[in-house]
Every structure is written in structure tokens, then in C-alpha cells.
């Protein structure tokens, strides 16, 4: 059975076709009437056509506000049968050439009504047609026929039309049934196709890997949400652009031995990312390739963790080496310093000799400072964990830094951007101040000609994120990767152990620390520590990794020579 939507469409189609047929018949019959001398009631015919036009307009209006489409279809079919009978009567009954309109109405009835009603329409059409012929044959009504057949001829005409009406009704019913069955199958297939398409779209939209499709020319045609998140750009801005322009490295090709490669991505909204890109041909069955599919996987965090593991291994090896040689160097160094001090008291020494002794003394002190840093780096540290406020510790560090900057007139401004008034965590306060001082010290050294140091604190999930950003010269990617390794200082007079010690402290706190930098765009040191709810009662301080006791170092005095790559 047809839906209301289909019935309404059929009714609207019927009105349009009826108006076209009426216009055509009106013109043809008027032309025929002018060319022949047969009796033709022109005024009556015109009145009938105008009445039919009026009924059609009425049904158009009725269709717009009455939703009973089945009843409307029945009314229109019955009205058309009556109007066709009038037109056949006015154009000569058995002499009329318009009796073909009855089969058309029967076909329309099979489309709009159930099959049994279609057969009833055929029967009613035969009754009306037979009534018109009988009324004209016996001259019960005014006749406009040009011939007068015998009764047998009239019966033959009626039987032929009866057979035609029945045949049309039967065949139209079969065809309509097939049409409805095909429509149901088509709707089922269309629904299954839509479900399958929706499933495929949901799969593509839900997978965590980014997907990009391009044409053969390499221009982007589609991106799934994961690809938009990885590229940090909405699809409308990327559609139609060359996919090769998104990455800093060449993309793999389907012809290459490996269909995947690691490439770097510069998003503009964040720092550089590392992506694994796989490429395959986008092909349609029984056709050639129509494009390419690129699968994106973000390896930025994986590569960072790998670098962190390598760094920990190198730091452990350097720590063992420093512990082994520091004591061996300090003993002869002490003897050298003592001997030089005794020589400086000899009265026979010349000015040149005393100058050379000053150089030896100064370099011995510098070497002793380096060995002190070695020992601080390699010696197991003792941590006293307590409930502390990161904001307060940062403020203490920045207060000391501000006095120094004012005294030295460096032209450096300090800007605070704290998203919260307090940031509680479990940490060793002295060690954390040492971390903050190292960050601040490196920033100051990077801005020799002045600039701005921006310190931020903000919540990020279950962590606090602290950032120290300068407006200095910045670093290359290679320098950033090795920033926390020992002996990587780019500053004159630095030992390169300050940030290595920072890395040890952060690891002991189970936190994360890294640097972001670009040449000419400054550097940002980022620290993440687990947050502690301010309403939670303070836990008792404990001891962590206590092998050899060591007194906590003050932040201002234990910077240890900034390491800046």
C-alpha cells in the first residue's frame, strides 16, 4: 500500500496531467469542429471543459489542506469518469474518438486505489460508457452522432470496450502490483544501503586514526574528525588543498618500497608533531584508482617517551661516571690549591709569577665548582614530601629574581598568569624552588638584551601545568631534544648540569618536564605535577630515595649552571 507521501505525489501528478490533457482536447476538438460540418455543441463542450478545469483547481486547493488522500483519489477518479462520459456524449457517443480516456482513468485508478477498487473503476467506466451509448441510441438525450448503427453493431461496440476495459484493468493491476513490489524492494534496499553507508560513515568518523582522501592530483577531498584534530584545522579550510603542503617532509608514495613514513607537521596552533603516514590507492571495483587514502597516526608522545628513556639511560651512565671521577679529581685539586696558596706567600715572586698563580687559583676554584655540581648530580638525594602550594613557591622565586633584575637593570619584565589562586601538590618545597630558579635563570640568560618572562600556572586534568616562557633567541629541534642532558650548556661559564638536576628532581616527583622552542620565537619550559585537592588534609611528610643524607639546597644558590640547548 502506498504511503501518504506517495499518494499525495500521485494526486499532484494527476492534476497536472489532467490539465494538460484538457488543454490538448479543448484545442483539438475546436479545430475539428471548425473543419467539419458534423453537429457539435460547441457551447456545451466549452462549458464542460471549463467545469472540468474548475474541478481540477478545486482539487489542487483541497490537496493543500485535506490529508485524506485516499478519499481524494477516489473522488477525482469518479469525477473524471463522469466528465469523460459527458465529453464522449458531446463528441458523438459511438462516433467519439475520446473513449480512449476511459482506459487512462482505469490506469490512474489502479495507481491510486487498491486492486479491487481498480476493477470497480473499470466496471463503472463500462456502465457509464454503455449508458451514454444506450441513451444516444434510443435518443433519450439529444444526440450528436453522425451515424446510427444497428443494435448488433452497438452491442459489438460495447463488448469490445468491455473487453478493453477489463484487459486494461487486469494488466494495469499486474503492472501496478509489480511496481509497488519493486518500490518496496527498492525501499528495503535503499534502507539497507543507507544503514550500511551510515555504518561505514560511523566507522570512519569514530576511528582514532586520521584519514585523508585525495584525488589523483593530490588535492584533499575528505577528512575524518580524527584527522582534523591531528591537523588542528577544520575540514572546510583543507578541502581542495594539496596534502603535501601540510607536512614538512615528503609523503610516502604507493610506488615506494615502504608505503609508510614518519613526517613532521607544523600546525601553527601548537608545537611540531611527528606523524606516521600510510598511503594506499583509493580504487573502485572494476575501475582504476581514483585517488589515494592517507592514514595518520600521532607519534609525538611516543617519540617523546622514547627520547625520555634514552635520556634516563644516558643520565644514569653519566651519574655513575661523575661519582667515580669526582672524588679522584678533588683530592689532587685540593693539594694543588694548597700548594699554590703557599707559593703565593713567597716574597721573591715577581708580578708575572703572581699573575700566573692567580690564574691557577681561579681555574682551580672553577674546577672545584664543576666537581661540586658533579657530586650534587650523582649523589642520591633525600626528598621531604609535604603538602605545598606551587603558587607561593613560584612567587618566592620570582620575588628573589625581581630584586636581582632591578639591581642589574637587565630590562627584563616578569609577567604572571595564574589561572588559580592556589595550586596544592605533594612535593619537596626546596627542590621545587631549585627547579623554578633554574627555569628562571635560563630564561634570564637567554634574554641578554631584555625581554619578557611569562610564568603560567593552570589546571590540566588531574595535573598542574607550570610554564616559564622567555622571548629569547630560542633553540633548534636538535638542541631542544638534548636540553636535559648533562654538559649541554650554551651559556658561557655554565656546567650544563642545572637542567639535568632539574630532570632528576621532577622524575623523583613522578612528574613530567619538557621544553618547547623555535629559533627566534623563544623557549618555554613546561612542568606537570599531580594536583592535590585543597580541602584534603595534609599528609605526613615522608622520605624518598634516602641513601645518603644531603641538606636541601636553596633555590638561589643551587642553580648549578643553566643548561640550555
Query: Could you report the per-residue pLDDT of 476-509, keeping only the tens digit for each?
Result: 877 887 788 776 666 555 556 778 888 888 988 8
**Which grid coordinates belong to 47?**
462549458
CA distance 147 to 48: 23
Q: How far is CA 556 from CA 356, 398, 431, 466, in A?
A: 32, 11, 11, 19
CA distance 381 to 203: 51
Each residue of 3-55: pLDDT tens digit?
444 666 776 677 777 777 777 777 777 777 667 666 677 788 788 888 877 88
Average pLDDT in the chain? 78
Beta strands in 133-272 (DSSP E): 210-215, 220-223, 260-265
Task: Tell me which CATH code domain 303-378 carries.
Answer: 1.10.287
CATH 1.10.287, the chain: domain bounds: 303-378
Who's near 46: CB < 8 A, 6+ residues apart? 26
Question: Helix 390-408 and helix 429-446: axis angle, to 10°?
Answer: 40
> How many helices and strands in the chain, by DSSP H and E?
14, 13
CA distance 366 to 535: 48
CATH 3.30.565.10, the chain: domain bounds: 383-544
Beta strands in 238-396 (DSSP E): 260-265, 273-283, 289-298, 383-389
Spacing of C-alpha 92 from chain mean position: 73
Strands 512-517 and 220-223, by their bridges, are unpaired
Beta bridge partners, 387, equal: 426
pLDDT at 540 over 60: no
The residue that leads in pLDDT, 477 or 223, is 223
Q: How far is CA 65 from CA 3, 5, 59, 60, in A?
A: 17, 14, 10, 10
- pLDDT for the residue numbered 75: 82
pLDDT at 554 over 60: no
pLDDT at 129 over 80: yes
Average pLDDT over residues 146-151: 82
Each residue of 286-308: pLDDT tens digit?
777 888 888 888 887 787 777 77
* Three-state DSSP class for residue 289: strand
The residue that leads in pLDDT, 18 or 138, is 138
pLDDT at 240 over 70: yes
Task: Tell me which CATH code domain 383-544 carries.
Answer: 3.30.565.10
CA distance 208 to 419: 31
CATH 3.30.450.20, the chain: domain bounds: 210-298
CB-based contacts of 327-333 (< 8 A; 24+ apart in sequence): 329/367, 329/371, 330/368, 330/371, 333/364, 333/367, 333/368, 333/371
Contact of 424 with 389, CB cutoff 8 Å: yes
pLDDT at 407 over 80: yes
* HSE (side-chain half, CA atoms, 13 Å) at 329: 17
Task: Quote the percentage of the chain above a pLDDT of 90.
Answer: 9
CA distance 354 to 6: 111
- Residue 529 backbone phi and psi in degrees, to 5: -130, 150
- Residue 34 backbone phi and psi in degrees, to 5: -75, -30
pLDDT-derived band at 418, boundaries 50, 70, 90: very high
Q: Angle at CA 287, nearest 5°, toward 283 and 291? A: 35
Tell me which range, 148-152, 312-316, 555-559, is most confidently predicted by mean pLDDT: 148-152
pLDDT at 137 over 80: yes
Average pLDDT over residues 435-439: 91
pTM: 0.45
- pLDDT for the residue numbered 533: 65
pLDDT at 445 over 80: yes
At the second CATH level, the architecture of 210-298 is 2-Layer Sandwich (3.30)
Contact of 371 with 410, CB cutoff 8 Å: no
Q: Which of 26-40, 94-108, 455-469 has the lowest mean pLDDT?
A: 26-40
Helices (H), 253-389: 300-343, 351-378
Q: Which of 3-12, 188-197, 314-323 has the lowest mean pLDDT?
A: 3-12
The residue that leads in pLDDT, 376 or 231, is 231
Average pLDDT over residues 98-114: 81
CA distance 386 to 389: 10
Amino acid at each position: 500500500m502506498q504511503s501518504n507521501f506517495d499518494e499525495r505525489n500521485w494526486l499532484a501528478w494527476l492534476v497536472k496531467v489532467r490539465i494538460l490533457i484538457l488543454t490538448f482536447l479543448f484545442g483539438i476538438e475546436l479545430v475539428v469542429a471548425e473543419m467539419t460540418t458534423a453537429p457539435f455543441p460547441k457551447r456545451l463542450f466549452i462549458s464542460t471543459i471549463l467545469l472540468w478545469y474548475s474541478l481540477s483547481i478545486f482539487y489542487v486547493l483541497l490537496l493543500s489542506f485535506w490529508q485524506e488522500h485516499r478519499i481524494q483519489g477516489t473522488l477525482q477518479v469518479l469525477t473524471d469518469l463522469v466528465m469523460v462520459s459527458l465529453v464522449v456524449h458531446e463528441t458523438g457517443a459511438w462516433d467519439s474518438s475520446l473513449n480512449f480516456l476511459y482506459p487512462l482513468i482505469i490506469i490512474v485508478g489502479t495507481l491510486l486505489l487498491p486492486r479491487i477498487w481498480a476493477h470497480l473503476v473499470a466496471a463503472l467506466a463500462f456502465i457509464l460508457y454503455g449508458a451514454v451509448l444506450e441513451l444516444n441510441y434510443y435518443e433519450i438525450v439529444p444526440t450528436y452522432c453522425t451515424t446510427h448503427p444497428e443494435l448488433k453493431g452497438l452491442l459489438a461496440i460495447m463488448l469490445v470496450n468491455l473487453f478493453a476495459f477489463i484487459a486494461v484493468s487486469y494488466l494495469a493491476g499486474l503492472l501496478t502490483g509489480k511496481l509497488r513490489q519493486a518500490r518496496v524492494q527498492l525501499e528495503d534496499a535503499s534502507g539497507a544501503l543507507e544503514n550500511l553507508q551510515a555504518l561505514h560513515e560511523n566507522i570512519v568518523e569514530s576511528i582514532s586514526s586520521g584519514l585523508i582522501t585525495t584525488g589523483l592530483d593530490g588535492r584533499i577531498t575528505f577528512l575524518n574528525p580524527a584527522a582534523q584534530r591531528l591537523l588542528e584545522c577544520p575540514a572546510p579550510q583543507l578541502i581542495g588543498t594539496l596534502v603535501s603542503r601540510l607536512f614538512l617532509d615528503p609523503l610516502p608514495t604507493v610506488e615506494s618500497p615502504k608505503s609508510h613514513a614518519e613526517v613532521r607537521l607544523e600546525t601553527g596552533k601548537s608545537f611540531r608533531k611527528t606523524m606516521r603516514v600510510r598511503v594506499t590507492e583509493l580504487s573502485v571495483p572494476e575501475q582504476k584508482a581514483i585517488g589515494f587514502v592517507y592514514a595518520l597516526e600521532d607519534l609525538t608522545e611516543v617519540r617523546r617517551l622514547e627520547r625520555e628513556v634514552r635520556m634516563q639511560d644516558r643520565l644514569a651512565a653519566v651519574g655513575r661516571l661523575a661519582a667515580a671521577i669526582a672524588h679522584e679529581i678533588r683530592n689532587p685539586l685540593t693539594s694543588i690549591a694548597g700548594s699554590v696558596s703557599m707559593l703565593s706567600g713567597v716574597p721573591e715572586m715577581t708580578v708575572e709569577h703572581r699573575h700566573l698563580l692567580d690564574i691557577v687559583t681561579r681555574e682551580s676554584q672553577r674546577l672545584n665548582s664543576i666537581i661540586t655540581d658533579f657530586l650534587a648530580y650523582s649523589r642520591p638525594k633525600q626528598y621531604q614530601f609535604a603538602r605545598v602550594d606551587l603558587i607561593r613557591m613560584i612567587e618566592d622565586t620570582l620575588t628573589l629574581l625581581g630584586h636581582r633584575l632591578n639591581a642589574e637593570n637587565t630590562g627584563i619584565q616578569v609577567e604572571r598568569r595564574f589561572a588559580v589562586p592556589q595550586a596544592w601538590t605533594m612535593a619537596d618545597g626546596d627542590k621545587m624552588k631549585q627547579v623554578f630558579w633554574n627555569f628562571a635563570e635560563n630564561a634570564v640568560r637567554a634574554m641578554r638584551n631584555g625581554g619578557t618572562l611569562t610564568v603560567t600556572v593552570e589546571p590540566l586534568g588531574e595535573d598542574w601545568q607550570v610554564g616559564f616562557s622567555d622571548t629569547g633567541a630560542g633553540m633548534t629541534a636538535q638542541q631542544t631534544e638534548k636540553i636535559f642532558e648533562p654538559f649541554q650548556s650554551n651559556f658561557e661559564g655554565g656546567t650544563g648540569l642545572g637542567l639535568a638536576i632539574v630532570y632528576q628532581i621532577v622524575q623523583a616527583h613522578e612528574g613530567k618536564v619538557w621544553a618547547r622552542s623555535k629559533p627566534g620565537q623563544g623557549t618555554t619550559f613546561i612542568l606537570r605535577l599531580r594536583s592535590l585537592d585543597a580541602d584534603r588534609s595534609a599528609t605526613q611528610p615522608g622520605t624518598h630515595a634516602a641513601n645518603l643524607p644531603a641538606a636541601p639546597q636553596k633555590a638561589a644558590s643551587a642553580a648549578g649552571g643553566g643548561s640550555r640547548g
